Amino acid sequence: MAIRELGIILHGATGRIASTQHLANALAPIIAEGGLDVGNGETVMPKLILAGRDEAKLADIARTHNVENWTTDLDTALADPAYPVFFDAAATHLRLDLLHRAIDAGKHIYTEKPVAPCIKDGLAILSAGQAKGLKLGAVEDKIHSPGYRKMKTLVDDGFFGRVVNFRLDFGWWVFDGLERQANRPSWNYQKSGGGGMFSDMYAHWRYVVETMMGPMRRITAAGWTAQPKRGGEASEKFDVDVEDSCSVIVELESGAFGTITSSWAQRVIGDDLVSFQIDGTGGSAQAGMRRCRAQAAKDTPNIRGFNLGGDSATLDYKIDHAADWQEIPEAGPYLNLYRAGWEQFLRHVATDAPLKSDYAAGIRDVQFAEACLQSSATGAWVSMAPLA
């Protein structure tokens, strides 16, 4: 089998997402397993150069994952024809300039979200890349999780019938960095760093919802700040100037409605950080990142509502409603979420295979975040009509 080396600049390599997910859980295993079989007797072997600002961290990560090359000189890496792919997972507010530089250097693009600070900038990147015949992809990892893959199988099998509504709830408690060390970086809570729940997480929920149930028609949203004061990495106090909690109502093109709520100020109960439920005439399913449970219409019990018996008003306290739901079995083995995305992008670059999570999909993610911000500011419904 022919081996085709494909050079990749991994920018932001010292960050948590790049070093753990994109490198340790995706590219390094592909390399260790002898590359990616893309068909037609060809195997793509990623050849990495790690790029970042901290020499010591770069050297340590490179050593850990047996990567030969690393650099703090991004311009030199961009000028090297041996690395035709540029990946970015560095600071959000620097992404636009970096992607333009990479396109000017003739590099294919694969980037973390948000892919651009706004729709206009995203379309400019897309146009510039297309003009040079480059391939551009976006990281849309959540849809590759086992739970969502199981739910997508139910969708494809017609299990739900006509979808009538859905709800997605996500979040956990992020410590404020003052009384207790924060468990998320401070830039997430500052507009200057590209922070905010809408920009950070609703880009994910767009592709999850539309992959499962089709296009959104319009949305209305509210965002608020639950913890207005936080402490940074050096324990310095700062004012939070973005939303850390959000609630959005979505109308789909199908006519179904649903809600998406997300918060960094809610405590977790249950077995997952995210719960996504779809209800239809044929049945319902609820998925987290790993599990998926379903209840068909024929198995739906007759629930009478509140049980008002005994000495006090209670809520059917003796009934375990979860017992009437069936676990959807594993259909694996499953790839790491980020590895699944990388494999699709590598096939796209090597063989021109279709890529659903392309840069245009990333712009659609940005469109949803922008619509949420606009609606939260104005209180109005905002259209999610397709972009030209």
List the CATH number of the domain containing 343.
3.40.50.720
Band (pLDDT 50/70/90 cuts) for residue 332 is confident
Average pLDDT of span 110-126:
96
Is there a single domain that holds both residue 309 and residue 259?
Answer: yes
- The answer to whether position 238 is within a domain reads yes
Band the pLDDT of 307: cuts 50, 70, 90: low
Res 80 pLDDT > 70:
yes
pLDDT tens by residue, 354-369: 999 999 999 999 999 9
**pLDDT confidence band for 314 (50 / 70 / 90):** low
Compare 54 and 306 and report the one with higher pLDDT: 54
**Structure confidence by residue, pLDDT tens digits, 136-146:** 999 999 999 99
Q: Is residue 388 part of a domain?
A: no
Same domain, 109 and 238: no
| Dist CA 204 CA 276 (whole Å) | 13
CA distance 377 to 42: 52
CA angle 316/322/328 to nearest 5° reads 165
Please report whether residue 136 resides in a domain.
Answer: yes
374 with 382: CB under 8 angstroms? yes
Residue 134 to residue 139: CA distance in whole angstroms? 17
d(CA 267, CA 169): 12
pLDDT confidence of 309, banded at 50, 70, 90?
low
- Res. 316 pLDDT band, cuts 50 70 90: low
Residue 344 domain flag: yes
Instruction: Give the pTM.
Output: 0.94
Residue 383 is assigned to a structural domain of this protein: no
Rounded mean pLDDT of 73-97?
96
Domain limits for position 109: 2-140+337-355
Residues 242 and 260 in one domain: yes
pLDDT of 20-50, one tens digit each? 999 999 999 999 999 999 998 999 999 999 9
* Residues 247, 314 within the same domain: yes
The structural domain count of the chain equals 2
Query: What is the reported pLDDT for 174?
Result: 96
